[in-house]
Amino acid sequence: MKLSSCTAVAGTNIALVKYWGKRDPALNLPAAGSLSLTLKELGTRTTVRFGSHLGSEDRVRLNGRDPDDSTRTRIGTFLDLVRERAGITAHAEVVTENSVPTAAGLASSASGFAALAVAASRAAGLALLPTQLSALARRGSGSAARSIFGGFVEMQPGVFSDGSDAVAESISEGDGWGIRLVVAVTSEAEKAIGSTEAMERTARTSPFYASWLESIPGDLQDARAAIAERDLHRLGAVAERSAIRMHASAMAATPSILYWTPATLAAMNTVFALRDRGLAAYFTIDAGPHVKVLCEQDSVSEVNTALTATPGVIRTFTTSPGRGARILHETTA
Ligand code: PMV
């Protein structure tokens, strides 16, 4: 197999029907499906080069720095999967840059592992299909499986124990609709508890976990229909309740998992007030305190103004639907 250097890019994605719970933690198999929007403005660019001259360790640079130990281990474990599949033993040099603004909880692992799956598999001489890339990216982070595809994407939980059918698929490119996601950054701090540990605790201790899982198939069906009809009110209503239910199940865990801050609640109330004024704006919240507001292009400036004036909101920026992960360039070593 020919080893090369490969640079790939991927946009992050924000789930409108959330993934929160695993049926197999080792293989990162989700307990239920999820549905997301891949974004253009927030993403990762990663270059991978395998070579026997690189010595006995993978070398990783993340945003121009050495990553912390747990990130390095996570990337090394992921590269082991690629090496095993390609039948190589060489270590790799990985250079990765996030265009995600410096704020925690803005889903850099989704674009990060999607870009790494594309760049590393290609650099190792593999030619994987998008579905295979999605299954590979999932091993790095559950949400990364969705960033292989652009626009609106649905993740299948799958039924096989090897996870080969736990992959994402494209539903609609999402362009032409003019949908936007305005992100309200509410904190610069690291998130309190990572998603893997939080999901595990929710599944083990939350009395709401079973009903959370039961609610997902109906939400997926509703979201699919809303996208087909380009009905923002219907899609936004699903997104908002999915986020609230996900957080409610986590809050009810022992010890409680609470990602919201006063600024999160203030931004949620801003969105309710915008809707009272007749504006189609709906929020979603991930495993962190930031609030992401779904709206149409024409409403962006009003949403932006209202969020900027909300106590505790540090800044806002606007994102739009983007393409799936792809190779930027490759060279044969
Ligand atoms: O992919 P992970 O393990 O970082 O989990 C993602 C969890 C949420 O962002 C909160 C929801 C989602 O579906 O992306």
Which atom of ligand 1 approaches the CA of 14 most closely?
Answer: 14
Distance CA 280, CA 270 (A): 12
Q: Does domain 179-319 have CATH number 3.30.70.890?
A: yes
Sequence letter at residue 312: G
Percent of the chain clearing pLDDT 70 (strictly above): 96
Q: What is the mean pLDDT of residues 201-213?
A: 98
Q: Terminal CA-to-CA distance of the chain, rounded, Å? A: 11
pLDDT band, very low/low/confident/very high, at 192 (cuts 50, 70, 90)? confident
Per-residue burial over 247-274, b = 16 or more CB atoms within 10 Å of its CB, e = otherwise: bebbebbeeebebbbebbebbbebbeeb
What tokens appear for 141 in the block? Answer: 């982070």
As a whole number, the mean pLDDT across the chain is 94
Ligand 1 centre to CA of 20 (Å) is 7
Closest CA to 8 of 246, 332, 329, 306: 329
pLDDT in tens, 50-85: 997 777 899 999 999 999 999 999 999 999 999 999
Q: Determine the distance separating the centroid of ligand 1 and the alpha carbon of 142, expressed in angstroms.
A: 7
List the domain boundaries for the chain: 3-175+322-332, 179-319
Q: Candidates 12, 17, 20, 153: which one to mutate for ligand 1, based on the most atoms within 8 Å of Cβ?
A: 20
Nearest CA residue ID for atom 8, ligand 1: 286
Do residues 318 and 180 lie in contact, with contact meaning Cβ atoms separated by under 8 Å? Answer: yes
- DSSP class of residue 144 equals G
Tell me which CATH code domain 3-175+322-332 carries: 3.30.230.10
CB-CB contact of 125 with 4 (8 Å):
yes
Rounded CA separation 123/50 (Å) = 7
* Amino acid residing at 262: P
Could you tell me the pTM of the whole model?
Answer: 0.96
36 with 314: CB under 8 angstroms?
no
Residue 247 · residue 173 · CB < 8 Å: no
Q: Which residues line ligand 1 (CB under 6 A)?
A: 15, 18-19, 34, 107, 109, 141-143, 195-196, 286-287
* From 13, 18, 191, 283, mutation site for ligand 1 pocket: most ligand atoms within 8 A of C-beta: 18
From 286, 290, 291, 292, mutation site for ligand 1 pocket: most ligand atoms within 8 A of C-beta: 286
- Residue 2: name the closest of 128, 123, 97 by CA: 123
Banded pLDDT at 191 (limits 50, 70, 90)? low
Residue 154 and residue 33 in contact, taking contact as beta carbons nearer than 8 Å:
yes
pLDDT at 121 over 80: yes
pLDDT tens profile 167-177? 999 999 877 89
The closest alpha carbon to 136, from 160, 164, 111, 158, belongs to: 164
pLDDT, mean of residues 288-304: 97
Ligand 1, from 44, 154, 195: best to mutate by most atoms within 8 Å of Cβ? 195
Q: For residue 286, give the ligand 1 atom closest to its CA.
A: 10
Q: For the residues 205-212, what does the mean pLDDT come to? A: 98
pLDDT for position 173? 86
Nearest 5 degrees, angle CA 221-CA 112-CA 167? Answer: 35
What's the CA-to-centroid distance between 30 and ligand 1, angstroms?
10
What is the CA(60)–ligand 1 centre distance, in A?
A: 23
Position in ligand 1 atom list of the atom nearest CA 155: 13
Report residue 310 as tokens: 């909300």
pLDDT band at 38 (very low <50, low <70, confident <90, very high): very high
Question: 286 C-alpha to center of ligand 1: Å?
Answer: 7
Measured CA to CA, the distance from residue 316 to residue 103 in angstroms comes to 11
